[in-house]
Structure 1
Amino acid sequence: MWIPNMQIFESSVLIFGALFGLLWAMHIFVSWTKVKTMAWILLIASIWLLSGAYFFSMTHLVYPYFYALHFPFVFLCGPLFLHYYRLVVREVDSKFFNFHLIPSCLALFVILPYLLMDLDSKIKFLEGFRTGKMSFYHVLIMSLNVGVKVSILSYLTPIIFLNLPLLKRSNEISRESKGIFIFIIILIYIDLLIGLIGFFIKSFFLVKLSALLLPLNLFIFFILSSRYPEIVIGLQKELKRNRYENSKIKNLDVNFILEKLEEIFKSERAFADEDISLPKVAEELKISPHQLSQILNEKLNQTFPQYVNSYRVNEAKKLMVEDSNRSILSIAFAVGFNSKASFNRSFKNISGFTPQEFRKSTQK
């Protein structure tokens, strides 16, 4: 009776962790937080935990349809961690490049033959793991477990070691918070390394232990991130300070440049020129395009297109109030947009309303 009871306990822990991760992800999705990357990471972690419960409870031998389906999703964890770090900690634009999807696509390619098997073939294939009668394809699918952990470690390790010196140097982060941050890192590494060692030495106990540590890590991470938000804030400030010390704007009169830029946009209505560009404005300010981009990013937390469109949208609002009979398309062209679609998109992003909704609200 002990073994079934242990299976129930292990599966319950993993299901609890999955539900906890799912609820946390849903909370982020419905919150006002702009960056939803962490929600996707938590959602994938929940899928991973559910797959563990599905496997350890032996349910996969009865209902084999979902076996290995989690691999393409879990291979996205590493790229999503990098994406989150760049957006939230470094506060820079981050694109999710296609090459980050290669491991996930390869995992899908590996599991595809299994997914295309009929029910009896699936059960027979899975029995091979239990009896030890494994083919090359069995080994290939098992290697995905190792690949997932190596992938996550390969993304996390550079991020961690690049930021540890900044963490130590920061005066914004308390000594206690620094210790907590290092504690979280150690927990994550222990979890991943235990899983790796378990697969290499064929220890089912270590594999299960690694899986059972994931819900614990999720819960600890939730508590600590809620109690110590200063860790991320401190790293942000230290990175900004570090960038400024090594930047090309250190010897510029940034306040004067920002005043001159505001004058160009307010007095000269530079935003109304649909051909306005970063190099053109930088030339007028007698600085390089890179310097102007850096000033906007670090001082105003905006890209050049965002800066231009903010002026255009504000001017469009003014024109809509002053002339309620003027068409929205005419106003869009007047403030510098070259299409109604780009105007509607920018207006919605900046004001939270569509142009039509804004006009109706001003006519009440």
Structure 2
Amino acid sequence: MSTIAFYAPMKPPDDPVPSGDRTMARALLTALEGAALGDVRLASRLRSRDGVGDAAAQERIFEAAEREIELLSAGPRPDLWLTYHTYYKAPDLLGPRLSRQWGIPYAVIEGTRASSRLQGPYARFAKAAETACDAANIIFYLTEYDREALERDRVPNQRLARLRPFLAAETLPPWQPRPWSDTFRLLACAMFRPGDKLASYEMLAEALALVQSQAWSLNIVGDGPARGKVEALFSRFADRTTFVGALDQDGVASQFREGDLLAWPGVGEAFGMVYLEAQAQGCPVLAEDRPGVRDVVRDGGWLVPANDPPAYAKAIDMLAIDIDGRMAAGRRGRDRIAVEHLLPAARATLAAELSPLLAERRR
């Protein structure tokens, strides 16, 4: 039986802190384990992420990677190394070296190139991410935006394959009509973290201040270190806003089943697992038109220009009275998720693309 070494340099799938990356890593493990490709094992829990561009931190991570390579080199050799998400803030420092040393295929899911980062505080990490992409026999891209850069810099004999982002579910539960309410029930769902998440909350709060409709409410699902800042942003809407807190997967799904619209701008989202989760429950989406996000918000929602709070507010006002439009978008989005963004579709793609690499290895 073949053995696949799985590695997620940004965050291991068993990390205790929830995030879209962790969700996707877990979904990938589930898909791989059901794809009849062989035994899948977690190769390492080494995290290579540097979120601020700190040269000293990067040096420590490189040193830790050298120690990890030495340790793994003494262990059993897998038949294929598969890395999920290598990019300039969290490059794969293990897979390229070990794959070359062992003489095995190297595959990457969501490998991204950022040539603009080859200068500046991330230069060393960006170069390592480029090295990982160059070393890969195959790179699975999740968005059209990533494909363009990968195609531009693709090395000879490297294959690119599309893998649509997906949820770790075989099927969707039966359709359930949304409970009636005379209030337009908005949802926001994300961790309270500085950076892109906080920027999305800031944009949403700015847009809500411009909304003309009075018949709306907002449930905010999430928690985190920036809680105080998020609470302050929505304090002017205290009578309309409920901070639900962090919920497990079932709790989040329940919120989406009962809500009328996921209002999440999506600043800096690679694609946004939350958009898939909402549409799976028939909850339509309002997002900003950004690369990656537009790949998953198609039939099941609306996209407005980025960094345009008045346009976002206008869309909320329009959707507040368009009940039929919301219902139709919810059904369309759910249908799309069922066909393209669940485990069966992901397994089929992974099996079709990885089987030849494993077969060649067995020769």
Q: TM-score, normalised by structure 2?
A: 0.23
Q: Normalized per residue, which structure has more strand?
A: 2
State the structure with more CA Rg.
Answer: 1
Q: TM-score, normalised by structure 1?
A: 0.23
Q: Normalized per residue, which structure has more helix?
A: 1
